[in-house]
Amino acid sequence: MPTYPLEPFRIKSIESIRLTTRLERERILQAAGYNLFKVRAEDVVIDLLTDSGTGAMSDTQWAALMRGDESYAGARSFYQLQRAVEEVTGFSYFVPTHQGRAAENVLFSIVVKPGMAQSVPSNQHFDTTQANIRARGGKPIDLVIEAAHDPALVHPFKGNMDIEQLERFIETVGEARIPIGLLTITNNSAGGQPVSMENIRATADTYHRHGIPFFLDAARFAENAYFIQQREADYALRSIPEIVREEFSYADGFLMSAKKDAIVNIGGLLAMRNADLFELVKNELILREGFPTYGGLAGRDLEALAVGLREGMDEAYLAYRIAQTKYVGDRLSELGIPIVQPPGGHAVYLDALRFLPHIPQSEFPAQALSVALYLEGGVRTVEIGSVMFACPDPDTGIMHYPKTELVRLAIPRRVYTQTQLDYVIEVCQRVHEQRDTLRGLKIVHAPELLRHFVAEFEVV
C-alpha cells in the first residue's frame, strides 16, 4: 500500500465544495455538449482539469499582494520580480506576460516568418505552443524519445528529446528553416515526464552546433529539477536552486507559464540573452500585452510571482508534491487501472487506449473516459488525445491521430487532501468496473485551432 506524504503546510483558509448528484451531472453534461471545459466549476466536486493557475498561494504570497506597486512604468514590484528571475534562472533580459501563451505569441510573432516553411522542433510541444507556431505559418515538430509513446514502459526520463532524430531532422530540413528550437520541461503532453540534465545539455549542444537558438518551455522547471535530483547520477547531493540554475544555463531563452511551478493564479515570463531580440520583444509586448515593466499583469501579480518562483523550489514542498502524485498513480496501478508509467510530476495520466480498447480513436476514447469520470463522481479531468491533437495533414487531408489517448488527472498545488484524492481513486475504480458499457463520442461542432476548449459532442 503506497503511503501518503506528510503535508509541509497547514490550511488557513478554505473554499466550500458543493456536492452534486449523478442525475444533476447527467443534465449538466448534456447541456455542456460533453465538453468539461463548458461545465461550471461550481458543478465540479474535485477539479483536476489543470494544475495551471489553480494552486493555493501561501500566506507569504498573499502578504506580498499588498505590497504591489501599481505604477504604469518602473514599478517597484517589477524590480522585485527582476531580482527573483535573476536569482532563480540567471536571466536578466525578461518581460512579464499575462500567461504562458502570451509569451509564446510574442516570441513566435518575432522569430517565425510566415510563408517561409519554417519548423520548430521540441521534445513535445504543448497545445497552445503548437497553435501559436501554426498561427505564424510555422510547423511544430515533436521529437521525443520512442519510450514516451509507450504508456506502460517505465523510464526515468521519458520526456527526453531523441537527440539522433533531432540531428537528422535538422540535417534534412536545413538549419535555415529552423528559426528556434524548444524543449519542454517537464513534458506535459506525454505524462508530465522529466527531461534529464544530460538530455538538456545534449539538446542545447545539437541546436547550438547548427546555430539554432535554444529556448526552454519551463512551466514546470522545479518539478523537473526535483526528478533530476532523485534520478540522475551526480545530482543527488545538489540543491534544487543549483539544479534549476543549471537547467536554465544551457538555454538562450525561456518561455514560462508561471501558473504552474511558480504557484500564481496568473502570469508568465519570456526571457532571453540576446539584446537585439530583447528590443524586438519589448516592442511587440507593448503592442500586445503592456509596458515592459508590467506586461499584462498588475503590480500585485508581479509581487506574488517573485515569491512563488522561490517557493516552488522548496525541497520539502517538492518532495511532498511528487510523492502525492506518485501515491495516486501507485494506488490506481494496484487496482489494475492502466496509467502512464511512471507517474509524472503534476499529474497522473490514465491510458484510455488500454482502459477502453473497444472504442476506436475516431470516437475519442480519452474524451469518453473523461466524461465518465465526471458522471460517476463529479471529478473533472482533461483529455489529452485525439480531441486535442488529431488533425488532418495539410497536404493530403488524411487524419493523423496521436500515438496516445490519455486522460490527465492534474493535481493543483497545495489544494487537495488525501481523503479527496482517495475519493478520486474510488471514482476511477468504479468507472473501471463499468468500462465495457462505456461508448465513444462524435464531434457535432468544432473550430479549427484548439478545438478541445469549445468542441461539442454526442454519444455514439
Positions annotated as catalytic residues are 72, 126-127, 217, 219, 260, 452
Work out whether strand 93-97 and strand 268-272 pair parallel, antiparallel, or are unpaired: antiparallel
271/359 with CB nearer ligand F0G: 271
217/232 with CB nearer ligand F0G: 217
Long-range contacts of 351-356 (CB under 8 A, 24+ apart): 351/151, 351/152, 351/404, 351/405, 351/406, 352/385, 352/405, 352/406, 352/407, 353/151, 353/404, 353/405, 354/151, 354/152, 355/407, 355/432, 355/435, 356/435, 356/438
**Interface with ligand F0G, residue 126, by CB under 6 A:** yes
**Interface with ligand F0G, residue 188, by CB under 6 A:** yes
| List 121, 191, 268, 296, residue binding ligand F0G (CB under 6 A) | 268
The distance of closest approach from Cβ of residue 32 to ligand F0G in the complex, given in angstroms and rounded to an integer, is: 18
The distance of closest approach from Cβ of residue 396 to ligand F0G in the complex, given in angstroms and rounded to an integer, is: 29
DSSP string, 116-157: S--EEEES---HHHHHHHHHTT-EEEE-B-GGGG-TT---TT
The distance of closest approach from Cβ of residue 388 to ligand F0G in the complex, given in angstroms and rounded to an integer, is: 11
* Site stretch for ligand F0G (CB under 6 A), options 93-101, 204-212, 322-330, 440-448: 93-101
| List 217, 303, 311, 383, residue binding ligand F0G (CB under 6 A) | 217
3-state secondary structure of 96: strand
**Interface with ligand F0G, residue 123, by CB under 6 A:** no
| List 35, 50, 89, 130, residue binding ligand F0G (CB under 6 A) | 50
Helices (H) and strands (E) counted in the chain, each on its own, are 16, 16
The answer to whether 187 touches 224, Cβ cutoff 8 Å, is no
The distance of closest approach from Cβ of residue 12 to ligand F0G in the complex, given in angstroms and rounded to an integer, is: 26
| List 100, 179, 253, 290, residue binding ligand F0G (CB under 6 A) | 100
C-alpha cell of residue 364: 475519442
C-alpha cell of residue 336: 489494475
| List 25, 134, 158, 259, residue binding ligand F0G (CB under 6 A) | 259
Alpha-carbon distance of 283 to 250, in angstroms, equals 26
| List 130, 257, 370, 404, residue binding ligand F0G (CB under 6 A) | 257
Residue 341's H or E segment, with its range, is none
Residues that bind ligand F0G (CB under 6 A): 50, 52, 99-101, 126, 128-129, 184, 188, 217, 219, 257, 259, 268
